[in-house]
Amino acid sequence: MEKKNRPLQAANSDIRVSDITPLTKSLQAPKRTPKKHRARVYMLRTGIEGWTENDILRYCRLSSGRNYATELERQLGITLERIDEKNPDGIGTHLRYRFSCRGDVLKVITHINHLA
């Protein structure tokens, strides 16, 4: 069987490559939330209880929890309250950090929003 020549339709006569959209959407893998952002949001969510270095390790899956706290202090000029707590096993201690005043919390919130 022979194919018959079909006349071009007026709408299809002037097709440019830039006008054609792909039929399937390309799915991009979602970007991971930056480490510092995860740590800072966790610090804010802990409230009056505060957080320890182990909490950041456990819930944010980040090591060096004290580095994130001291970095905030240096960048924003705030002072975090530090409480020395014994470990549950009785061997050694960890520091529990918490914000000392509401103004410091507001500085951290504006800093996070500025970077987001």
Report pLDDT for 1.
Answer: 63
Residues 6+ positions from 62 with CB-CB distance below 8 Å: 35, 38, 39, 56, 68
108 found inside a domain? yes
- Could you read off the pLDDT of 60-114 as tens digits, one per residue? 998 888 899 999 999 999 999 999 998 888 888 889 999 999 999 999 999 999 9
Q: Write out the residue range of the structural domain in which residue 95 sits.
A: 33-115
Question: Is 56 in contact with 62 (CB distance < 8 Å)?
Answer: yes
- Which structure tokens are listed for 29? 């893998």
- CATH code for the domain in which residue 70 is found: 1.10.10.10
pLDDT at 27: 73
CA distances, 71 to each of 39, 85, 108 (Å) = 11, 21, 11
Q: How many domains does the chain have?
A: 1
Strand residue runs (E) in the chain: 51-52, 80-86, 93-99
User: What SS3 state is found at 21?
Assistant: coil
Asked if the structure places residue 11 within a domain, the reply is: no
pLDDT digits (tens, 9 = 90+) for 24-66: 666 777 888 888 999 999 999 999 999 998 899 999 998 888 8
